[in-house]
């Protein structure tokens, strides 16, 4: 399960960012995970509480947005979901494509409490 290493990297990146920017509390982290990224969102959600235990992020909520695996057909320019159509263009049946999205693994957003 490589997700544990990925979550550790997120924790390290966010913690470093928080320290450099004098942030002492983060309410939530928003991750974008692509359908084609080979990272299983359910595993990330499951192991997150264990990885953040006794860190700055211990009480942080994790939010995951799934980015669809989209492609453009190189033969007819149709844009389609790779998972739904199993890599075959639904318009012309071609397998020649350019992947447009779905490989992402991005820390999209950190939400911090509003300062009073």
Q: What is the mean pLDDT of the segment spanning 43-58?
A: 95
Q: Report the run of H or E that residue 42 belongs to, with start and end.
A: helix 41-52
- Give the C-alpha distances (Å, rounded to integers) separating 92 from 3, 29, 77, 87, 95: 36, 40, 10, 12, 9
Q: Is the pLDDT of residue 116 over 80?
A: no
pLDDT of residue 1 exceeding 70, the answer is no
Residue range 73-102: mean pLDDT, rounded: 97
d(CA 4, CA 76): 40
The dihedral of CA 50, 51, 56, 60: what is its sign? Answer: negative
Task: State the pTM of this model.
Answer: 0.88
pLDDT at 25 over 60: yes
Note the Cα 21 to chain centre separation in Å: 23
Whole-angstrom distance, CA of residue 106 vs CA of residue 21: 20
Q: Can you point out the beta strands (E) in the chain?
A: 28-34, 61-67, 70-73, 79-81, 97-101, 105-111
């Amino acid at each position: 399960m490589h997700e544990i290493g990925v979550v550790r990297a997120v924790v390290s990146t966010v913690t470093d960012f928080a320290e450099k920017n004098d942030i002492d509390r983060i309410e939530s982290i928003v991750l974008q995970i692509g359908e084609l990224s080979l990272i299983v969102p359910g595993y990330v959600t499951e192991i997150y509480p264990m990885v953040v235990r006794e860190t700055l992020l211990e009480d942080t909520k994790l939010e995951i947005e799934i980015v669809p695996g989209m492609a453009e057909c190189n033969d007819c320019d149709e844009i389609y979901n790779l998972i739904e159509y199993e890599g075959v263009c639904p318009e012309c049946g071609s397998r020649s494509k350019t992947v447009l999205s779905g490989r992402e693994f991005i820390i999209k957003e950190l939400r911090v409490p509003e300062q009073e």
